[in-house]
Structure formats: C-alpha cells, structure tokens
Structure 1
Amino acid sequence: MVPTVIDLATREVIGYAMADHHRAELVTDALRMAAGRGDLQSGCIMHTDRGSEYTSGEFRQELRELNLRQSMGRTGICYDNTAAESFFGLLKAEIGTTVWESRETARADVFRFIEVEYNRTRLRRHPEFGYLTPLETRARLQQDLTPAA
C-alpha cells in the first residue's frame, strides 16, 4: 500500500509512505511527511476515502495536532477522490506490472516515480499557467502569493 498526500492546487505528491499493511501508522507517516516538508497550512482540508486507516483515532489525532480538517468521500464513489485515482492510474501504468526482487527495489521505483518523474517532469495542463510540472506550478503559486516588500 502506498498512501499519498497530494496538493490539489499543484497536483504535487507532497507526502507518501509504503508498506505491506494497511494500518493507520502508514497513512499517518504520509501525512507527517507532507507536514515535514512545510507544505501544509493550518486549516487545510485533508480529503480521504472511508478506509479504516483514515477513520482511525491515530490518524484523526494527527489531523488535530496539525490543525487540519478531514473530508471523506462517499462510500464506493471513486469520483470523490479523482486526484488520487488519477495519480494511482499513472503509477500503475508506469510501474504497476513490475515484479520486484525485494521491497527495497520496489520502494526505490516508487520513490523515483514520485520524486523524479511525477513531481519534476510530468507536465500537466493548468488552467492559468499552461503546461507545467507540479513543482513548477508550486513555484509559480508561491511567487504569486509573495507579498510585495
């Protein structure tokens, strides 16, 4: 399982974790990674599905500590979480049929896909900025939000 935290403004994957289980600590680790990067603003909305990891006390406590709000999609409606569904569709298309020698090799492949290909080289159509990578979109948004001196 690879839970992700995706910034909806830029479509950048800002947090993720990988393990062979679905326990709450895994999604909490992905959320902590996003928070550690400094990309989460107080009061942001964290959208999730209704999986037990996301309804756990551990995950909800982490949301409270980070002062985030939770939104959950409707049961069985994949359209409520289209950003994540789209990301995982790309991930599966790129590396989903691979059989890895070890978990470490799988982790390296997922890391490469997210940090190199997806966030830094994948172009997306942004309504205001045109074709930019998620990182370029973030830089543009930060520039636009910087107050004048």
Structure 2
Amino acid sequence: MHSDQGSQFTSAEFVQHCRKRGISQSMSRAGCPYDNAPIERYYNTLKTELIYQYRFETAAELDYVVSEFAYDWYNQARPHTYNGYLISFEKRAECTIKQWCYKKR
C-alpha cells in the first residue's frame, strides 16, 4: 500500500495492522507532489466515471471493472488535458521520477 507520510499511516497501530494482514507499506518522500495530486485526481475520476455510474452485484465484479478501468482505459486509452492530451502511459514514458519529485536548484 502506497501512501504519504501522514500520521494515520505511520502510527504503530496502523503499521501493525498492515503487517498482520501481509500488507507492505511504501511512502512517498516528504514534499514529493508526484504521488498525492495525481492519485487524488485519479480516484476522483474513478469514482465519477465508473463507481457512481453503476451498481455492482459482487466484489469480484467490482474488482474486474476497476482493473479494466485502470489498466485498459485510464492508462492506455484516455487522454488527459493536464498531460497535454497524452495518455498516462505516454506521459510516464517521457518523464523520470526525478523530474516529478525534485526541484531544480
């Protein structure tokens, strides 16, 4: 599970909760905007364009459509205005993590 370094994710209780369930934690660097804003935008789009539009009968059905949304449509087919109308896959291919996470001095 990837998160920011908020106290709710770094508390001993939450860390123990994750360990008991076999969940590996990773966290973004302090001050790295790459994780938060794009991920929050992604979840907004996921909910608006998929979750709130349909009723899902089973968890397996929901899992399938979320996977299709993320891997086949959002990353491979949907152009993004923020990316100059490139799809996410194309934008990531032209950038490195350093470009997103570190300020030039």
User: Shared topology, TM-score over 0.5?
Assistant: yes
SS in 2 for 1:99: coil
Structure with greater strand share of residues: 1
**CA–CA distance in structure 2, aligned partners of residues 114 and 120 of structure 1:** 9
Q: 1:133 aligns with which of 83, 87, 94?
A: 87
Which residue identity does 1:96 align to in structure 2?
Answer: I
Task: Please give the root-mean-square deviation of Cα atoms over the aligned residues, in Å.
Answer: 3.3
Please list every run of 5 or more consecutive structure 1 residues that lacks an aligned counterpart in the other structure. 1-26, 32-45, 73-80, 143-149
Who is 1:19 aligned against? none
> Which of structure 1's runs of 4+ aligned residues deviate more than 4 A?
none
Percent sequence identity over aligned pairs: 23
Shift of 1:69: 5.2
Who is 2:15 aligned against? 57
Shift of 1:47: 2.7
**CA–CA distance in structure 2, aligned partners of residues 70 and 122 of structure 1:** 28
Shift of 1:50: 4.6
Please list every run of 5 or more consecutive structure 2 residues that lacks an aligned counterpart in the other structure. 97-105
Who is 1:112 aligned against? 68
TM-score (norm 2): 0.58
TM-score (norm 1): 0.44
Report whether the alignment pairs 1:89 with 2:47. no
Shift of 1:85: 2.3
Structure with greater helix share of residues: 2
- Matched positions, count: 84
